[in-house]
Amino acid sequence: MENEKPSMDDLIIETHIGLERQGPGNHEMTIKALSFIDDHGKFPKTLDLA
């Protein structure tokens, strides 16, 4: 299965390995990250765990 495409979960985990935090860091950065989502209507609720 070496040619299998990595899942989105695999990519997210790989992106965060070795980092102190697994998120943007503060309220301002969370708002910035959310601004990259084109259609907020698809995601009516967002959970931000601090």
pLDDT at residue number 43: 66
- Looking at residue 24, its amino acid is P
Distance, in Å, from the CA atom of 43 to the CA atom of 15, rounded to the nearest integer, reads 22
- 5-29 pLDDT, tens digit per residue, is 888 888 888 887 887 766 657 778 7
pLDDT of residue 39: 77
Report pLDDT digits (tens) over 33-47: 778 888 767 767 766
What was the pLDDT predicted at 41?
A: 73
Whole-number Å distance between alpha carbons of 35 and 32: 5
Contact 19, 11 (CB under 8 A): no
What's the pLDDT score for residue 10? 86
Give CA separation, 38 vs 5, 33, 34, in Å.
Answer: 25, 11, 9
Distance CA 41, CA 38 (A): 9
